[in-house]
Chain A
Amino acid sequence: MLYKVLVVDDEAPVRDLLNDLLRREDCKVTICGSGEDALEMLKKDVFDVVLLDIKLPGISGLEVLKNIRDTDKSLPVIMITGFGYNEDLICKSKEFGCSGYIGKNMPVAQIITTFKQFAKNAKNGEKPAQ
């Protein structure tokens, strides 16, 4: 198994797709549809990486990240968003301690490559590139 991943996205077709793509990469994937559920799952289980959508109903992805960082400074959290390459969101995510940032506007192959690269860097203790 490459990574044990928690995928958080409120849209079922998107999280199912990410689930399928990551499983093909030999990841063990758990999916959930809200920030609240994600925080609950993180209490119950241990993950190698969290792939976290920024725009979520209820607690936003950025708030979930902030919550995670309150207790865990090292868990790799990669933000993913439909807003594409958005400087404001990238800055905010970095400020809150994300390990990487992926736009849903990337081709799927690139999404997976980028995910793997960020996860690897985070595991090695590297911070996301400025």
Chain B
Amino acid sequence: MCPAIKETKEMLHELLDNAGVTVIYLDVDGKIIFCNKKTEIMTGLKHEDIIGANWLQILYRGNNNIIKQDMFKAVLDECVRHKREKDFEGVILDSDKNERLISWNFTPVMVENEQVTGSILIGHDITKIREAGNSAKSIDQTLKNILSSLKEYALYVINLEGNITYFGMGSEIMLGWNRKDIIFKHADILHDKEDSENNLRSILEQVKLFGKFEKETALVTKAGEPVAVILTANKFLDSNGKHSGYIFIAKDITERKKLEYQAFQAEKLAALGLLSAGIAHEINNPLLVISGRSALLMQEKLGQKIKDDLELINSQAERIQKMVDRILKFSQKTKPAFGPVDVNEAIEFILPFAQYSNLPDIKIEIEKEFAKDMRPVKGDLHQLQEVFLNLIINAYQSMPKGGVIKITTSNFNDLFALIQIKDTGLGIPTEHLKDVFMPFYSTKSDGKGLGLSICHNIVKNHNGSIELESQLGRGSAFIIKLPFI
């Protein structure tokens, strides 16, 4: 061999040995004619043990996975038959019998007349690359799972044009939109356009100015209903760190708002109660003097006209007296005589009294659906009867053209007796719902507006809750929860 050829051969060997890939040269029968150092390292075999051996036996030694061997062979056969390169990924065992994923490139070796004399296998170990890829995929999947699990949070992303590019499962639940229906729609539809401080434009301006937006506000559902939320908005950066849109996270705080409102309502009522007691006391003294003096005068010898006038003064004073008594009753924190109360029996007892409030020519039907074996609640029988009586009379009065009153009792989570008194009456406008339990609020021209506030106080003293749901023109439903003993 001439020195130049020898030198070239050595250089090629050196090059192949230092290449980070496995290089194997096979003859047409699949016997290994040549292999580089990397092949020895990977298989853990000596050079002389490899050369002349069948390539499948070397790469799959000790591994009886016939399917993998056959696949490997089939790919190589195809490569030789069709005389073209073939890429293939396959698992082999390394010297420590660990599985290695190799990306193979099979190239047929052809002589001048295109006759295949063998093939070259170049294998690139991609185990680590794939593992890293898999873990990236796994992190991606985990993030998707986390985002999907956040059902209490509405998460959505918009691009710089304001179009929605991501809409999480929590958003679907909270806002009633189906992901496929809202994607690429403008996010304006999720925000109250009329609210100058919290519409989308204003929010984005605040993010630009202050870096983020965080505030108690409201989002708008598909049905157009507002949902009270704590909304956070931030810039959304893509994988290159480029500002590509905005990310919104909203937490539904409807329940919290409801509790806050109830607490506020209770405080307001308590303050009003104190005030009422003071006022009532101040009225009672002069009223006693008016009614007392007029009563004394009536016993004097006076003309009939004067006597009639005194009678009128007295009766009007008595009217004020009754009103003051109602106010005092509302303001007093009377201590209920607690005992076991059967809610079903309490309602049955007062029903005949409630029916007296019905005018004879108005047809009102009572439907009862009482839970069987209802556990007793802890309460003051008379006070609870007053609540039920008030609410049922209320239902009667809300149906001047007749209708149905449905009274149901049920067990709520084994903790509360749930009593619902529904009517098919006039209903109350949404904007007035928050006022119905306030004293002196009445929709009736002759109403004193104390009945429902007294009911509210009684139920509250029983550690229960009372709510009103109403739709104008369709009716109202009082929902009371009283704790079981």
Report the Cα distance A49→B74, complex, angstroms: 121
Who on chain A is nearest to B314 by CB?
Answer: A107
Query: What 0/1 pattern do residues 255 to 293 of B give for CB contact below 8 A with A?
Result: 000000000000000000000010011111111110111
A84–B288 CB distance below 8 A: no
B59 sits at the interface (CB 8 A): no
In the complex, chain B residues whose CB is within 8 Å of the CB of A24: 296
Report the stretch among A13-21, A38-46, A113-121 that lies at the interface: A13-21
A55 sits at the interface (CB 8 A): yes
A14–B280 CB distance below 8 A: no
A83–B334 CB distance below 8 A: no
Contacts A13-B289, A105-B325, A108-B292 given: A87-B334 contact, CB under 8 Å? Answer: yes
A67 sits at the interface (CB 8 A): no
Who on chain A is nearest to B322 by CB?
Answer: A105
B296–A82 CB distance below 8 A: no
Contacts A13-B286, A14-B285, A104-B285 given: A84-B325 contact, CB under 8 Å? Answer: yes
Shortest Cβ gap from A95 to chain B (Å): 14
Report the Cα distance A118→B321, complex, angstroms: 23
Query: What 0/1 pattern do residues 87 to 130 of A give for CB contact below 8 A with B?
Result: 11000000000000001110111010000000000000000000
Q: How many A-B residue pairs have CB under 8 A?
A: 68
- Chain B: residues with Cβ within 8 Å of the partner, total of 25
Shortest Cβ gap from B59 to chain A (Å): 95
Who on chain B is nearest to A84 by CB?
Answer: B328
B328–A108 CB distance below 8 A: no
In the complex, chain A residues whose CB is within 8 Å of the CB of B311: none
A20–B332 CB distance below 8 A: no
B324 sits at the interface (CB 8 A): yes
Contacts A13-B286, A20-B296, A21-B292 given: A107-B328 contact, CB under 8 Å? Answer: no
A11 sits at the interface (CB 8 A): yes
A84–B324 CB distance below 8 A: yes
CB < 8 Å: which of B283, B289, B334 contacts A14? B289
A86 sits at the interface (CB 8 A): yes
B291–A108 CB distance below 8 A: yes
Contacts A84-B325, A86-B328, A105-B325 given: A17-B289 contact, CB under 8 Å? Answer: yes
A104–B288 CB distance below 8 A: yes
B284–A104 CB distance below 8 A: yes
B296–A107 CB distance below 8 A: no
Report the Cα distance A104→B283, complex, angstroms: 10
B293–A105 CB distance below 8 A: no
A105–B324 CB distance below 8 A: yes
In the complex, chain B residues whose CB is within 8 Å of the CB of A85: 328
For chain B residues 287-313, which have a beta carbon within 8 Å of chain A?
Answer: 287-289, 291-293, 295-296
Contacts A82-B280, A109-B295 given: A87-B285 contact, CB under 8 Å? Answer: no
Report the Cα distance A113→B284, complex, angstroms: 19
Who on chain A is nearest to B277 by CB?
Answer: A83
In the complex, chain A residues whose CB is within 8 Å of the CB of B288: 14, 17, 82, 104-105, 108, 111
Shortest Cβ gap from A3 to chain B (Å): 19
CB < 8 Å: which of B281, B321, B325, B333 contacts A55? B281
Shortest Cβ gap from B254 to chain A (Å): 38
In the complex, chain A residues whose CB is within 8 Å of the CB of B291: 107-108
In the complex, chain A residues whose CB is within 8 Å of the CB of B281: 55, 81-83
Contacts A17-B292, A20-B296, A87-B335 given: A105-B328 contact, CB under 8 Å? Answer: yes
A82–B293 CB distance below 8 A: no
A82–B282 CB distance below 8 A: yes
In the complex, chain B residues whose CB is within 8 Å of the CB of A83: 277, 280-281, 284, 328
Which of A11, A21, A103, A104: most chain B Cβ within 10 A?
A104
B318 sits at the interface (CB 8 A): yes
For chain A residues 1-58, which have a beta carbon within 8 Å of chain B?
Answer: 11, 13-14, 17, 20-21, 24, 55
In the complex, chain B residues whose CB is within 8 Å of the CB of A20: 296
A87–B289 CB distance below 8 A: no
Report the Cα distance A91→B300, complex, angstroms: 39
In the complex, chain B residues whose CB is within 8 Å of the CB of A84: 280, 284, 324-325, 328
Shortest Cβ gap from B208 to chain A (Å): 60
In the complex, chain A residues whose CB is within 8 Å of the CB of B296: 17, 20-21, 24, 108
Who on chain B is nearest to A16 by CB?
Answer: B289
Report the Cα distance A86→B281, complex, angstroms: 11
Contacts A83-B328, A84-B324, A87-B334 given: A105-B286 contact, CB under 8 Å? Answer: no
In the complex, chain B residues whose CB is within 8 Å of the CB of A14: 285, 288-289
Mark A residues whose CB is within 8 Å of B. Answer: 11, 13-14, 17, 20-21, 24, 55, 81-88, 103-105, 107-109, 111
| Additional 11 contacts, C-beta under 8 A, given A83-B284, A84-B324 | A17-B288, A17-B293, A20-B296, A21-B292, A21-B296, A24-B296, A55-B281, A85-B328, A86-B328, A87-B334, A105-B287
Mark B residues whose CB is within 8 Å of A. Answer: 277, 280-289, 291-293, 295-296, 318, 321, 324-325, 328, 332-335
Q: Can you spell out 12 A-B residue pairs with CB atoms less than 8 angstroms apart? A: A14-B289, A17-B289, A21-B292, A82-B280, A82-B284, A85-B328, A103-B284, A105-B284, A105-B287, A108-B295, A109-B295, A111-B292
